[in-house]
Amino acid sequence: MATEQLPAQQLDAVRTALLEVLGYDAATRGALLTGLPVAVRGLLPGGQAAPAIGLALDLGFLNGIGRLADGTVPIKVLLERAVSLAGPIEAADVVRDALSEVEARTSGAPPVVVAGLPELKEAVVLRDDMVPFGFLHGGLAAARAVAKLMVTRHDDGRPTLVSGKPVVHLGTGWLVAPGLLMTNHHVVAARAQGDAPPSAADLRAQAVGMTVLFDYDDDATTGTAVEAVELVAADPGLDYALVRLADAGRPPLTLSTEPVAAVSPGQEIAINVIQHPDGRSKRFALRNNVLTAATPTELRYLTDTLGGSSGSPLLDDTWQVVGLHRGSTFVSGVQFQGRRVACVNVGTPITAVLAHAGPHLPGPV
């Protein structure tokens, strides 16, 4: 498995940007390393060095660590903290770009091409964004069908171990039909970018062995585990996978049967995402979320997501599924509601997925 997350030149650019934007005194270093496992923090070599040298040492060490057994990617944790601390400062774009690169490399999501993405003008602020009273009730009902996924990587028929523990990839799934879970192919594949794809046998083993956790709604709950029993269908091109569950005991989401219309200025629709970002408890992305482009095979939208959100349902304001979230990438020069946009997301229209997966689903599609 690949371990170096960023090439040397990009890592050096990140170091330069961090020194310029945040510095690396003891207090800043402590803030940036918050969230890293204690065992990893204790091994970092930069604590006693001058700030510029200490940062270079710490970044180099973290960059050389691959995915930990619990799915954590240490360099990603530091970059996320840096982006959070830097806020909208433009000089931190280098760090945002690096975070996007690490997200893509470690999640295994296909690269997102954003050429020609139009800038969204301030006029979108002037539309009426109010929703009816039932909107929140509908969202809570839809959320019951969404689950956190933990997929143990297999190589040659055996779980892949790091320090004696299985390597876990994170994702999100949802009920597309009774007892059938939808997620991304790359979530079930459990590989980083550049890794060889799993064999058919390993893919099936990863699907059947994954943990499917419903009702993980907040940090105080443990969720409801449901057994996965069969990989029903999968396609890397459309990036979907269907997995049969033993008994989900809850209704599936409602699927839109109409293609998403091409986006017209001032008529953008909201794209709401129910997800488990970075394997955390369930989150709703409801604000500052808008569809920017739609084709028969691709949706682009501005909605907050993270690694672990892969496989989430894309929902309109009636809580019908219009697409399957695949991945995201950093962009620059794009404005939304008077603020710079950090990332653009890409998903597959649910109509395209159903056209391929329809034979495996019960009833008409």
Q: Is position 198 within any domain?
A: yes
The reply to whether 115 falls in a domain is: no
> Around Cβ 12, how many Cβ atoms within 10 Å?
14
Are 289 and 248 found together in one domain? Answer: no
Contact criterion met (CB below 8 Å) for 39 and 120: no
Choose the final residue of a domain: 201, 231, 253. 253
CA–CA dist 6, 240 (Å, integer): 27
Alpha carbon distance 232, 361 (integer Å)? 10
Residue-number span of the structural domain to which 336 is assigned:
122-135+254-356
Shared domain for 182 and 168, answered yes or no, is yes
User: Could you read off the pLDDT of 254-308 as tens digits, one per residue?
Assistant: 999 888 876 766 666 888 999 999 899 999 988 777 788 888 888 888 777 887 8
One domain for residues 162 and 234:
yes
Residues 246 and 150 in one domain: yes
Tens of pLDDT along 177-222? 999 999 999 999 999 888 899 999 999 999 999 999 999 999 999 9
- Contact assessment for residue 133 and residue 351, using Cβ atoms and an 8 Å cutoff: no
User: Are 84 and 154 members of one domain?
Assistant: no
> Does 113 fall in a domain?
no
221 and 285 share a domain? no
128 and 272 housed in the same domain:
yes
Stretch 118-131: mean pLDDT, rounded? 50
All residues at 6 or more sequence positions from 21 whose CB lies less than 8 Å from its CB, including other chains: 82, 86, 89, 91, 92, 95
Cα–Cα separations (whole angstroms), residue 107 to 1, 104, 136, 336, 364: 13, 5, 31, 27, 33
Higher per-residue confidence, 349 vs 113? 349
The CATH number of whichever domain residue 307 belongs to comes to 2.40.10.10
Residue 275 lies in a domain: yes
Whether pLDDT at 365 is above 90: no
Count the domains in the chain.
Answer: 3
